[in-house]
Amino acid sequence: MEIMVEKEQFWLGRYDAPQRFPEQGPCFAAWIRGEYSLLAPKLPGQPGRSQGPWGCLGVSGTLDLSLVGVMERLSRCLSEAGVPLLAQSTYDTDYLFVPQELLGKAVEALRAAGFSVRGAAGNDSAGAASKT
């Protein structure tokens, strides 16, 4: 399985009311039980709380939705290395967000577990940790 280090750094924001999606760039949003959270390179408005930056690791390609254990295998690897994560999935694939300062450690742990990890162009943290 190949993992790509995405070039963007992300911020997690918690809002009391829905916000407009950022007009450009990737983002993940959730609205549940009165909480609205947005994970994006640039947060709109003024979140009540925010945390970041987070580095992003994405599984390359499209995953069949019937696959079992993909996220478990990735998260176990990072857990054993002491790297906290935020997990997000889309229809096509899975993403792991790790504190930016631990991105190199996460890449090393994934490689040691047998994953192929490729850094995105222009990402100094990923490039330093990547040997591809």
User: What are the sequence ranges of the domains in the chain?
Assistant: 2-124
Q: Cβ(66)–Cβ(44) under 8 Å?
A: no
Question: Which is more confident, 61 or 32?
Answer: 32
Question: Which is more confident, 27 or 104?
Answer: 104
To which CATH superfamily is domain 2-124 assigned? VC0802-like (3.30.2130.10)
Task: Over range 80-89, report the average pLDDT.
Answer: 92
Question: Which is more confident, 57 or 45?
Answer: 57
Average pLDDT, the chain: 81
Q: Reply yes or no on whether the pLDDT at 90 is more than 50.
A: yes
Integer Cα distance of 105 and 100 in angstroms? 10
